[in-house]
Amino acid sequence: MTGSSVEPAPVTVAVDANGADLGPAEVAAGASVAAGTGTRVLLFGPAAQLGPAPAGVTVIDAPVSIAKAPGPVAAVRATPEASIVQAARAVAAGEADALVAGGSTGAAVAAALFNVKRARGVYRPALAIEVPVPGAPVLMLDIGANVEVRPEHLVQFAFLGAAFSTGVLGVSRPRVALLSNGAEPSRGTPDLVAAHADLEAGAPYAGMEFVGNVEGTDVTAGAADVVVTDGFTGNVAIKLMEGVSQTVLGAIRAVAETSTRGRAGGLLLRPGLHDLRAGIDPERSGGAHILGLRSLGVVPHGRFTRVGYANAIAVAERGVRERVVERTQAALEAAGALRRAPSASTASVPDVP
Amino acid sequence: MTGSSVEPAPVTVAVDANGADLGPAEVAAGASVAAGTGTRVLLFGPAAQLGPAPAGVTVIDAPVSIAKAPGPVAAVRATPEASIVQAARAVAAGEADALVAGGSTGAAVAAALFNVKRARGVYRPALAIEVPVPGAPVLMLDIGANVEVRPEHLVQFAFLGAAFSTGVLGVSRPRVALLSNGAEPSRGTPDLVAAHADLEAGAPYAGMEFVGNVEGTDVTAGAADVVVTDGFTGNVAIKLMEGVSQTVLGAIRAVAETSTRGRAGGLLLRPGLHDLRAGIDPERSGGAHILGLRSLGVVPHGRFTRVGYANAIAVAERGVRERVVERTQAALEAAGALRRAPSASTASVPDVP
């Protein structure tokens, strides 16, 4: 509750309670935390497992889960009663302002795409994630919705990412870069080189600063606030970063366990390392973000606890309140980057796991 | 010197003394170390800066350097007197068995490709690097020679990598994987999916085990000994891994400097962390490897010291002695993966920095 004289209208978030490794009750616990901050939650899941709804949470009994379905796109199409599809439909119908659906990224993107639909002038939705760079998170997109992209898709991803960075992450004029194999504008695949030229030649837009290409080493060095790439490279990239981070931390833990001296050192460092781990905890960001649709979507990882779910709902709420979708639209319009005419290929189903 | 009754013929390595940040004398010092183990070195560089040649090292005065030329491919073409071009020509002429040229990967690949030439039946050379996974290095290729690849290129990279892994890294039957955005054979770009199908359908070959797709997190987890990818993704990948590794180690160093307690912990851990750093020291592997030509090439990083250069020469020597090029040829032949007919597009210049 703010101290201003006019209370803002509460934001309503549709949440799929299925898909969490810890079960629907854990999602309900996260929803309860979010409701405590004033967000309204429509919770779709098995009512029998969700317990009594706290104030601000409305439970809609939707016991059917497709979180573990092998073909998420087909499952979304074939299972209108699935909790995730019902949640997406609630957003499409205007009963909720944003979607939170964890566990299966593929199902979340498909359910959102088919029901919430693409925003006007947007070719394709993209999946974005905050790379937990200590001190200043970097937003990377696409991390898996589009294995193959055209230059105009990459250009739009730049604006989608910038609007989210400003609205939700509070970066006033994000530096936006293309991920490439060299800093020079000529480096990269032909599509990437074309996107670089388009972004450089585009109408000047005050909402972001295009800083050209960045290489892998630049991502964690904070050279850009938003890093744009295709969904194949982005997916490989975030998983590599996760793997290296885990491996290095694991190797250091091993060092701290191999000798009395090491154990003593590890004990002394433990509080500081705990802060470091907390700083790069993926639950902080609430998960991946579906950008480019008529409403925001947030996809918590299946292993998230109630904390990650509460954060996901908070991110969705902030995105609605900060009008990320409208910002994106305005930015694309100002930059002349809106899709001109619908084409068959743009209706393709995203290729996500 | 081995204890066997027949002494093996000494291997001769052509080394470019230009390109090292520490200067030609540092390269000469590395060559001297290698010569001390019985390898013969032809050292191409500015004789005036190289000092008296030790036993086993022959200095060829070649003062012209193109290591800092902005367009390495054009520079190689236009500068036949450049030390790197002379070194590559010595290999092509049979005066040396392998090439070591540091500093500019682009110049090294171009000089080798134009002079040493591709091995029979190989479409394109690839650049490979050992990812320093603690305990068991993983060979990744291509990391930058080919930004765009066709399925048959990826298939050949698998065999190039396997032969090097066996010959130089001592892995008897390397597990070879494709880097993708999911483990299922259907995941990835269409070219990657096609390469997966070809590798799975190909003639059984005892020299390697194709283990399918690996994701980013699997690379450092040791799921494969050889990881195959296109040069764009591979280049982004190794730089991301380097960046994350540096960032995590830097964050831990910062933790160990922020309090008396942290400083004490850091001091206790220092010997173990020193071993960890040594284990992931890029100088250990000698640099990147040029595979797919009629002779091996090794490209030390420009910042390497004499240690890295000596390792590069040792890797080249081992590759010659273990007949990596011949192994590659035999593997491609056995698997039916040799290029059938020359085509114009295969003569393209690699796109390296």
Smallest Cβ–Cβ distance between A188 and the set B232, B261, B271 belongs to: B232
The answer, for B129 touching chain A at a CB cutoff of 8 Å, is no
CATH of A1-125+292-322 among 2.60.120.260, 3.40.718.10, 3.30.565.10, 3.50.50.60: 3.40.718.10
Q: Is the pLDDT of residue A352 over 60?
A: no
Q: How confident is the model at residue B87, as a pLDDT? A: 98
Instruction: Search chain A and give the residue with CA nearest B143.
Output: A181
Q: How far is A214 from chain B (nearest CA, A)?
A: 10
The answer, for B222 touching chain A at a CB cutoff of 8 Å, is no
The answer, for B70 touching chain A at a CB cutoff of 8 Å, is no
Residue A292 banded pLDDT, cuts 50, 70, 90: very high
Q: Say how many C-beta atoms besides its own lie within 10 A of residue A6's C-beta.
A: 6
Interface test with A, best of B133, B228, B232, B235 (most A CBs within 10 A): B232
Interface of B with A in 85-104 (CB under 8 A): none
B7-123+292-322 and B126-287+324-336 agree in CATH topology: yes
Do A243 and B261 lie within an 8 Å CB cutoff?
A: no
Using a CB-CB distance cutoff of 8 angstroms, which residues of chain B are in contact with residue A268? 261-262, 264-265, 268
Using a CB-CB distance cutoff of 8 angstroms, which residues of chain B are in contact with residue A142? none
User: What mean pLDDT do residues A79-105 have?
Assistant: 96
CA nearest to A330, candidates A128, A119, A173, A151: A119
Do B134 and A218 lie within an 8 Å CB cutoff?
A: no
Q: How confident is the model at residue B263, as a pLDDT? A: 80
Token couple for A321: 């309140």
Interface test with B, best of A147, A214, A238, A348 (most B CBs within 10 A): A147
Are residues B139 and B163 in contact, defined by beta-carbon separation less than 8 angstroms? no
Return the H-helix or E-strand segment holding A130.
strand A126-131
Rounded to whole angstroms, the Cα distance separating B64 from B74 reads: 15
**CATH 3.40.718.10, domain B7-123+292-322, yes or no:** yes
Using a CB-CB distance cutoff of 8 angstroms, which residues of chain B are in contact with residue A188? 147, 232
Return the H-helix or E-strand segment holding B42.
strand B40-45
- Any residues with CB less than 8 A from the CB of B36 and at least 6 apart, and which? B54, B56
Superfamily of domain A126-284+325-337: Isopropylmalate Dehydrogenase (3.40.718.10)
Do A181 and B144 lie within an 8 Å CB cutoff?
A: yes
Q: Where do we find the tokens 């955005």?
A: B181
Using a CB-CB distance cutoff of 8 angstroms, which residues of chain A are in contact with residue B187? 351, 353
Interface of A with B in 237-256 (CB under 8 A): 237-249, 251-252, 255-256
- The pTM (predicted TM-score) of the whole model is 0.90
The answer, for B218 touching chain A at a CB cutoff of 8 Å, is yes
Token couple for A21: 């490794």
Q: Where do we find the tokens 């690849």?
A: B149
**CATH 3.40.718.10, domain B126-287+324-336, yes or no:** yes
Pairing of strands A297-299, A288-291: antiparallel
Smallest Cβ–Cβ distance between A232 and the set B189, B238, B243 belongs to: B189
Smallest Cβ–Cβ distance between A273 and the set B237, B255, B268 belongs to: B255
DSSP string computed for B139-190:
EEE-SSS-SS--HHHHHHHHHHHHHHHHHTT--SS-EEEEE-SSSSTT-S-H
Instruction: Search chain B and give the residue with CA nearest A216.
Output: B240
Token couple for B280: 């992931």
Using a CB-CB distance cutoff of 8 angstroms, which residues of chain A are in contact with residue B265? 264-269, 272
Instruction: Search chain A and give the residue with CA nearest B242.
Output: A217
Tens digits of residue pLDDT in A43-52: 999 999 998 8
Pairing of strands A288-291, A126-131: antiparallel
Q: How confident is the model at residue B2, as a pLDDT? A: 44
Interface of A with B in 267-296 (CB under 8 A): 267-269, 271-273, 275-276
Going from N- to C-terminal start, the domains of chain A cover 1-125+292-322, 126-284+325-337
DSSP state of A347: G
Q: How confident is the model at residue B256, as a pLDDT? A: 76
Rounded to whole angstroms, the Cα distance separating A224 from B27 reads: 36
DSSP string computed for A107-135:
HHHHHHHHHT-BPTT-S--EEEEEE--TT
CA nearest to B224, candidates B232, B234, B213, B237: B213
Using a CB-CB distance cutoff of 8 angstroms, which residues of chain A are in contact with residue B244? 220, 240-241, 244-245, 248
Select the more confidently predicted residue: A275 or B341. Answer: A275
User: What mean pLDDT do residues A26-34 have?
Assistant: 96
The list of chain B residues with pLDDT below 50 reads 1-4, 343-348, 353
Tens digits of residue pLDDT in B23-81: 999 999 999 999 999 999 999 999 999 988 889 999 999 999 999 888 899 999 999 99
Using a CB-CB distance cutoff of 8 angstroms, which residues of chain A are in contact with residue B242? 216-217
Q: Where do we find the tokens 């003593």?
A: A264
- Interface A:B, Cβ pairs < 8 A: 188
Do B271 and A258 lie within an 8 Å CB cutoff?
A: no
